[in-house]
Structure 1
Amino acid sequence: MRVILRMSSRFGGDLRGNVAVIFALAIIPVMTMIGAAVDYTRANQLKSKLQSAADAASVGSIAKNSTAFVAAGSMTSDGTIAGGAVDATNIFNGNVQGLTGVTINSVTPTVTKTGSTLTSVVGYSADIPTSFMGVIGKTSLTVNGTSTSTANIPQYIDFYVLLDNSPSMGVGATPTDVATMVNNTSDKCAFACHDLNNSNNYYKLAKSLNVTTRIDVLRTATQNLMATAQSTQTYSTQFRMAIYDFGASSDTQGLRSLFSLSSSLSSAQTAAGNIDLMTVNGQNDNNDQDTGFSTIMPAIDKAITTPGNGTSGSPLKYLFFVSDGVADENNPSNCIKSTTSSGRCQSPIDPTLCANMKNRGVKIAVLYTTYLQLPTNSWYMTWINPFNAGPWGPSPNSQIAQNMQSCASPGFYFEVSPTQGISDAMNTLFAKAVMDARISR
């Protein structure tokens, strides 16, 4: 009896067989964990491919020239774009074609226009069968994802181009051109006035001397602007142009339409070729008062309709104003700096004339064609130089330049004097206008 008890005690205390039992019990969860890791890794790899397809769909559905992008350009209000959702679905499906080991449950694309922003959201859900997790009853893994892309919709803009063609724009475009005129005129005159009195027609003289005047540069620059606008626009009617000047002649001076507002930029470019200097009929025609800012600026303000939000039916409004910035008009009661005894006002532009347009939401881009000093011209030295004086040229503190800058909307002022500068500046102002419209609304 004692032997049996002793053997039973030894058997109960022997632990050597427990290792096998413990291993047998642990192998199942360990293998399950390893299998789950394999299944999750595969699921993540497939989800990455699905996410790439969703990214391609959200970007591609609102790309330039896409159905949604084109449709958004003609929409006058916010809303969804069904064609964009169709494109997104097709792009997604095209990118997952041939992808095995996954079942697509749903693709939910939405393309929406809100203001000037186009947004594409592509969501998806898919099941991925498991290889190892089935032992614990998990036969598939569900993966979900979303991709969001946005695009700025090009804004519709109406550009009103106001060009100073008064006699002072007959000055040489560069100091060399000025000197050529001075050296070839008996009265040392730098102005190539388009005087119809043939005995004093310095306009024709400038042509024969190959002198480039500011009006010549302005003509070319405006034509180049139309070409730039035509090559820049995304939609065929995105930009419309209108061209105005200060009048055909001194006797009829005032706001004149050279080209009515139109999206035909090629026609606008042709019309710009007709820009020319205002004619005068001899000295003292219209008392030589040919730059009537006090009447022209309110008139262009009236011509510019109410600015919109940049949609096709409600375009933004920009005024491109190009001038040397000096008024010459009968305005004795509201002359900034000087008035002759007859009431003739020769003075820097009054910047308050621009205020109403800016208050209405019209952006004003000002290109100031620097009034070069004309030391041999007594009229210039008496009436203009006091606003413009510097020891060797126009002063950095020129009242003319300051007032022109005050007329401009913030960031839309350029001052140029070299011949090649006007065209570059006009194109730069145009590019700034398009960029400003894109990011500020």
Structure 2
Amino acid sequence: MKTFFSDRAGNFGILGAIAIVPILGAAGMAVDFSRAMELRSRLQIAADGAVLAAISEKSAGVTQAVGMTNDGRVSISEAEAKFFFDAQMEAKKKSTKEHGTDSEDNFSQDVKLDLVQVKVTKAGKDIKANLTYQATLKTSFLRVLGKDSITVSGSANAVFQSESFMDFYLLLDNTPSMGVASTTADIEKMIKATKNVSDSGSRNCAFACHIVSEKGVVDTGSNYAVAKANGISIRIDAVAKAVVELTKEAEAQQSYPDQFRMATYTFGETAMDTKLFKVEGLTGDLSKVKKTAEGIKLMSIPKQGYNNDQQTDFDNALKKIGDEITAVGTGLTATSPEKFVFFVSDGVGDSYKPKGCTAKLSGSRCQEPIDTKSCTALKARGIKIAVLYTTYLPLPNNDWYNQWIKPFQTTIGTKMQECASPGFYFEVPPSQNLEGAMKILFNKVVHTPRLTS
């Protein structure tokens, strides 16, 4: 017995037999954990795809969320996410059966989904989707160590920020000064075309001879008549075209029904009845706005110097358009749209204002850059003002311009910018396209980040 216990032969075999269990366990652990990682990858891909599909821009769930008046759960998106997740997992299982090996087929059979939980909520402008999953994978080799399964879990999250609902109230200056030719080149054409035309003593007319009679007959010496006869573009025509292009841009940009609604107003049809004139009431039917915009014309005037040419009352127009605007919303839902005044003008007021005029009076006639008190009152209500300033062009050949407008010429653009809400001001000099400028300003308004609370 002493010899037996002292014999060292066969030690390696004994140690090998003892070590084989942890060696096989370590190898099995690598295999099983590799399978667990593959399972988690499959689950995560399905989960990521599910939450993204559930809150895609054109999904039924997002449509439901956008239409909700309050924050809360979005049931359609939750059902969509669960359906998409299950479909992804089923497609993967089918793929391995058709193209894979028996081991891959067994892999799917070894998996048990214990939990798939979806939660989609609307919170303000954010639609948040969360999918949590948990699965159990049967082990192959770890059973040697007494572990029959591995638990795999994870989650996927996605956020969709819905776009704002906005109402645009377009205030379009159609008063006499908008009968000026729209570009520098057109102004030169107008001067040449009226070189021998007499209109209340005026010649080389590019500024003041803009008469359209109440009966629709255009005075032969007016800017309007000369423009039409010589193919000259005047500002009001450019504004009308710009509004048409704006409606097209809005139609192309909106993601939901009635996301952008519009109303159009001018300063009146006739100089005999100057008032805020509703061309088209607030509507989501942008094709209707487009159609009526095509008919916007220069304000008619019965004779040169009628009512001392006091047809551009910014104070009254801005006050009246403020009366048209109901409660200002957050933009989060169709029932709570943000409110914008989209103001297009050359920035010079001309009205009866015996008191409070910011420039020199001509009797009781006030010609001035826009008085921003009216703008401030609108902004105080939460209404945003986007200003498209059509540069008021110097007209050095005109005596009236030199006496009354030239003294404050340099402040016109500054005051228009002061009227606008921060970041929503755009000046269009004659060298630029008014239609293009209108679309640029619209996109700036629509895509500018804004606080929702």
Q: What TM-score does the superposition give when structure 2 sets the normalisation length?
A: 0.90
Query: Aligned partners of 2:427, 2:307: CA distance in 1, in Å?
Result: 30
- Could you tell which deviates more after superposition, 277-286 or 52-61? 277-286
User: What pairs with 1:88-99 in structure 2 (closer than 5 Å)?
Assistant: 88-97=81-90, 98-99=92-93
- Residue 361 (str. 1) matches residue 386 (str. 2): no
**SS of the residue 1:160 aligns to:** strand
Amino acid at match of 1:412: F
For 2:406 and 2:7, the matched residues in 1 are separated by: 118
The reply on whether 1:189 has 2:231 as its aligned counterpart is: no
Shift of the alpha carbon at 1:420? 5.0
Counterpart for residue 301 of structure 2: 280
Amino acid across the alignment from 1:323: S
Deviation string 1:170-217 (CA, Å, 9 cap, x unpaired) is: 111111111111112241110361332735433112110111011110
- Offset, 1:165: 0.5
Superposed, 1:21-420 pairs within 5 Å as 21-97=14-90, 98-99=92-93, 100=108, 101-185=110-194, 186=196, 187-191=203-207, 193-196=210-213, 198=219, 200-310=221-331, 311-340=333-362, 342-388=363-409, 398-418=410-430
CA contact (8 A) 2:211 2:304 kept: no
**Separation (CA, whole Å) in 2 of partners of 1:266 and 1:420:** 26
Q: Does structure 1 retain, via aligned residues, the 8 Å contact 2:318–2:375?
A: yes
SS in 1 for 2:361: coil
Where 1:354 maps in the other structure, the secondary structure is helix
Conserved 8 A contact 1:217-1:419: no
Aligned-pair CA distance for 1:137: 2.1
Output the CA distance in 1 between the equivalents of 2:357 and 2:113. Answer: 76
Q: Which range moved further: 361-370 or 27-36?
A: 27-36
Instruction: Give the letter for the 2:291 counterpart.
Output: T
User: Structure 2, unaligned stretches of length 5 or more?
Assistant: 94-107, 197-202
What SS is found at the alignment partner of 1:198?
A: coil
Residue by residue over 1:211-239, the C-alpha shift from the partner in whole angstroms, topping out at 9 and shown as x without a partner, is 10111100100011111111211112111
Q: Which residue of 2 aligns with 1:423?
A: 435
Q: Which of residues 412, 428, 434 is equivalent to 2:446?
A: 434
Matched residues, number? 423
Tell me the distance in 2 between the aligned counterparts of 1:142 and 1:199.
Answer: 89
- Higher alpha-carbon deviation: 306-315 or 53-62: 306-315
* Distance of aligned partners of 1:415 and 1:380 in 2 relative to their CA distance in 1, 3 Å threshold: same
Retained in 1: the 8 A contact 2:133–2:154?
yes
1:402 partner amino acid = T
8 Å CA contact 2:165–2:260 kept in 1: the answer is: yes
CA contact (8 A) 1:68 1:111 kept: no
| Structure 2 residue matching 1:194: 3-state secondary structure | coil
| Structure 1 alignment gaps of length 5 or more | 1-6, 389-397
Q: What SS class does the counterpart of residue 127 from structure 1 fall into?
A: strand
Change in Cα spacing, 1:36 to 1:199, as seen in structure 2 (3 Å) is: closer
> Deviation at 1:314?
0.9
Q: Secondary structure at the match of 1:30?
A: helix
TM-superposed deviation, 1:140: 1.2
Which region of structure 1 is more displaced relative to structure 2, 21-30 or 40-49? Answer: 21-30
Contact 1:194 1:277 in 2 (8 A): no
Q: Residue 180 of structure 1 aligns to which amino acid in structure 2?
A: K
* Percent identical residues: 41
Greater mean deviation of Cα atoms: 198-207 or 92-101: 198-207
Deviation string, structure 1 residues 7-56 (Cα, Å, up to 9, x no partner): 93x76555454333222222211210110111011110111011000000
- What secondary structure does 1:386 align onto? helix
Q: Is 2:220–2:226's contact at 8 Å kept on the other side of the alignment?
A: no
Displacement, 1:439?
4.9
Whole-angstrom distance in 2 between the partners of 1:418 and 1:106:
65
Give me the whole-angstrom Cα distance separating, in 1, the residues matched to 2:23 and 2:317: 88
